[in-house]
């Protein structure tokens, strides 16, 4: 369990103060894969770096597994950091060292016996699928392979928490998927909590169960991934979701071009199995024109979106919309 | 005649190798400290850092010939002599040490900030960062720096010849300036110096090429 309360971070450069994190409160449960999404400069990296105090928060509190980490002294902090793995966008591998030595680094730091190190590193390399690259140098690896090495290194100490700062941002889509699958497997098999910083909703959609959306240092929306996809509250959340599904079309659809009323429906997995739209057409005096639709597969369920034009009497349209709401579909009028 | 050059070469090699070792022993820790203690560094001590930086700059700006004269008393104290091949090792080492410090500094600065943060995120201490990150990652760059240091020391050692330091520089200056009939000896000494510099550069490049995995 990670509890972040009233967290603030103020940077001061040349007398000018800049609030990078403003009063952030988050609760992250054990074994969550918790996504934190936001545009560039939103404060995501600053926030995640506060969690292992690579950045010192200005005020607030952070507790990880019941430990108040802001109260730790230098030496205590150093030891505590060994329980929190971290991976980065640019991998941060030692360029002059082999894959083996890179993965072994945390174990060298633990002063583990050479024989035990060898066993563990072999196991880890096998786990991330890089057994045959043991003696290669980072310059001989692809981006995806480099991140696998970094992941193996990050879990070498059996951490309880893994922090990932844009770990897939410099990888191509296919490699991204394979790295996300690896992280998902690690979370499942090793039972660790993962905090994923990203600016790609695709990443959140694929492996996260919860998500926080950050803007200007503030968490503006926070919920389960299903709920955010089904019913995004903020414009930013909508635009992030728009970047994953065909909802970008929503911007192309101009309500003035249609004589009827445009509505946008969002529904979760179970409701998508019922023929709700055809029931609506049968029950009410309206005509329906389907403008766009999509279904997104999430971690545990799927989320569908439909944009419809409803043509008919205002009262009939109202009743149809109430009907949809009763069926657990979110309805939003596009104006 | 052959003995003259053999002896000169041996003297030069003796001066250069010992001065290199001593300058590395002094300059290495200084360069390391320079990076570690800077503001925002791994072991920040800004006050100390300013002083160290100043001292290194001052030392670097003293012309070698003057430095030699300045450290006469020190040479006397350490090797009981202020003139001669062994005595010259003292000013040579002192002159090269700040240069080594700067080379160490730049080599370490080339390391990605992210790699250092990575090691901090693994809970490494300052000592462990030096041992596992800074030195190994900067090594190829340090080796190429050491090559430069040696070449510089060869150059200084030739200058030291003018003040009775012995070696090839001494031969070149003696024959070049004073023995008008035997100027060719100056050229021979010069050629040997050039060959020395070339071989150091060649070997340095080879080693760097071999160890650099970037
Ligand atoms: N050391 C620093 N000193 C001053 N300002 C900083 C510092 N680090 C970050 N900032 C500022 O804080 C804000 C948030 O930065 P941060 O790196 O957390 O953003 P981010 O959400 O991770 O962005 P990106 O997606 O580009 O990585 C930015 O405006 C940045 O300029
Ligand atoms: Mg960032």
| CATH number, residue A282 | 3.30.70.260
A181 and A282 belong to one structural domain:
no
What residue numbers bound the domain in which A254 lies? 246-333
Q: What is the pLDDT of residue A265?
A: 84
Q: For the domain that residue A81 is a member of, what is the CATH number?
A: 3.40.50.300
> What is the three-class DSSP state of B205?
helix
DSSP β-bridge partners for residue A263: A308, A333
Per the listing, tokens 């050629």 go with B191
Whether A263 contacts A334, CB under 8 Å: yes
- Which DSSP category does A159 fall into? -
Measure in Å the smallest separation between the Cα of A87 and chain B Cα atoms.
8
Inter-chain CB proximity B211 and A93 less than 8 Å: no
Q: What is the pLDDT of residue B179?
A: 74
The tokens of A216 are what? 């200007």
User: One digit per residue, pLDDT tens: chain B, 214 residues?
Assistant: 668 899 999 999 999 999 999 999 999 999 999 999 999 899 999 999 999 999 999 999 999 889 988 988 888 888 887 778 888 999 999 999 999 999 999 999 999 999 999 999 999 999 999 999 999 999 999 999 999 999 999 999 988 887 788 899 888 888 888 777 788 888 999 999 999 999 999 999 999 999 999 8
pTM of the complete model? 0.86
Measure in Å the smallest separation between the Cα of B28 and chain A Cα atoms.
20
Number of domains forming the structure of chain A: 2
The third-level CATH classification (topology) of the domain covering B2-211 is MetI-like fold (1.10.3720)
Whether B102 contacts B56, CB under 8 Å: yes
By Cβ distance, the residue of B115, B117, B122 closest to A82 is: B122
Whether B101 contacts B56, CB under 8 Å: yes
Check if A48 has its Cβ closer than 6 Å to any atom of ligand 1. no
Q: What is the pLDDT of residue A307?
A: 86
Q: What is the pLDDT of residue A252?
A: 65
A141 and A199 belong to one structural domain:
yes
Check if A22 has its Cβ closer than 6 Å to any atom of ligand 1. no
Q: What is the pLDDT of residue A251?
A: 57
Q: What is the pLDDT of residue A270?
A: 67
Q: What is the pLDDT of residue A214?
A: 96
| Phi and psi, residue B41, nearest 5° | -80, -170
Residue of B nearest to A137 (CA): B213
Query: Among A139, A216, A200, which Cα is nearest to A164's?
Result: A200
By Cβ distance, the residue of A78, A96, A157 closest to B125 is: A78
- What gap in Å lies between CA A78 and CA A101, rounded to an integer? 21
- What gap in Å lies between CA A58 and CA A42, rounded to an integer? 17
Best residue in A92, A135, A153, A164 to probe B by mutation, most B CBs within 10 Å? A92
A177 and A317 belong to one structural domain:
no
A59 and A112 belong to one structural domain:
yes
Q: What is the pLDDT of residue A266?
A: 81
Check if A20 has its Cβ closer than 6 Å to any atom of ligand 1. yes
Identify whether A77 is part of a domain: yes
- What gap in Å lies between CA A203 and CA A213, rounded to an integer? 13
Nearest Cα residue to atom 30 of ligand 1? A41
Q: What is the pLDDT of residue B92?
A: 93
Question: Which regions of chain A are under pLDDT 50?
Answer: 246-248
Identify whether A233 is part of a domain: no
Probe ligand 1: pick from A9, A10, A20, max atoms within 8 Å of CB?
Answer: A20
Q: What is the pLDDT of residue B49?
A: 96
A185 and A315 belong to one structural domain:
no
Domain positions in chain B? 2-211
């Amino acid at each position: 369990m990670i509890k972040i309360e009233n967290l603030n971070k103020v940077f001061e450069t040349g007398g000018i103060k800049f609030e990078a994190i403003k009063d952030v409160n988050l609760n992250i449960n054990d074994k969550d894969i918790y996504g934190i999404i936001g545009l560039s400069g939103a404060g995501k990296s600053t926030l995640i770096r506060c969690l292992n105090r690579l950045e010192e928060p200005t005020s607030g509190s952070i507790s990880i597994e019941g430990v108040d980490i802001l109260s730790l002294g230098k030496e205590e902090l150093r030891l505590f950091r060994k329980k929190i793995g971290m991976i980065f966008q640019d991998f941060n591998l030692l360029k002059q060292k082999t894959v083996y030595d890179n993965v072994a680094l945390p174990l060298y730091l633990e002063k583990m016996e050479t024989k035990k190190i060898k066993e563990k590193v072999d196991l880890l390399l096998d786990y991330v699928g890089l057994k045959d690259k043991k003696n290669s140098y980072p310059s001989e690896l692809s981006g995806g392979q480099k991140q696998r090495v970094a992941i193996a290194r990050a879990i070498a100490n059996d951490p309880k928490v893994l922090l990932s700062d844009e770990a897939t941002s410099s990888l191509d889509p296919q490699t991204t998927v394979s790295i996300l699958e690896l992280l998902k497997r690690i979370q499942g098999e090793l039972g660790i909590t993962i905090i994923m910083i990203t600016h790609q909703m695709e990443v959140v959609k694929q492996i996260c169960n919860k998500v926080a959306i950050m803007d200007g240092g503030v968490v503006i929306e926070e919920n389960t991934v299903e709920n955010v996809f089904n019913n995004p509250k903020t414009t930013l959340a909508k635009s992030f979701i728009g970047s994953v599904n065909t909802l970008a079309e929503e911007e192309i659809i101009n309500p003035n071009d249609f004589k009827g009323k445009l509505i946008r429906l969002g529904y979760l997995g179970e409701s998508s199995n019922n023929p709700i739209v055809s029931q609506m057409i049968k029950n009410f005096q309206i005509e329906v024109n389907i403008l766009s639709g999509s279904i997104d597969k999430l971690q545990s369920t799927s989320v569908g979106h439909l944009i419809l034009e409803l043509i008919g009497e205002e009262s009939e349209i109202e009743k149809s919309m109430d009907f949809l709401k009763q069926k657990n579909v979110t309805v939003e009028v596009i104006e | 005649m052959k003995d003259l050059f053999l002896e000169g070469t041996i003297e030069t090699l003796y001066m250069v190798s010992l001065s290199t070792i001593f300058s590395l022993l002094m300059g290495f820790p200084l360069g390391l400290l320079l990076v570690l203690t800077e503001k925002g560094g791994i072991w920040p001590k800004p006050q100390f850092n300013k002083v160290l930086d100043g001292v290194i700059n001052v030392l670097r700006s003293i012309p070698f010939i003057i430095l030699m004269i300045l450290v006469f008393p020190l040479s006397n104290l350490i090797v009981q002599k202020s003139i001669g091949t062994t005595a010259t090792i003292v000013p040579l080492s002192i002159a090269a040490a700040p240069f080594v410090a700067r080379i160490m500094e730049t080599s370490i600065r080339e390391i990605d900030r992210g790699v250092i943060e990575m090691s901090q995120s693994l809970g490494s201490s300052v000592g462990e960062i030096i041992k596992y990150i800074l030195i190994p990652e900067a090594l190829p760059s340090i080796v190429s720096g050491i090559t430069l240091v040696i070449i510089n020391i060869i150059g200084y050692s030739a200058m030291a010849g003018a003040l009775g330091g012995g070696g090839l520089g001494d031969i070149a200056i003696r024959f070049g300036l004073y023995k008008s009939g035997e100027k060719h000896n100056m050229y021979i000494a010069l050629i040997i110096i050039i060959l020395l510099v070339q071989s150091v550069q060649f070997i340095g490049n080879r080693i760097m090429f071999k160890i650099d995995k970037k």
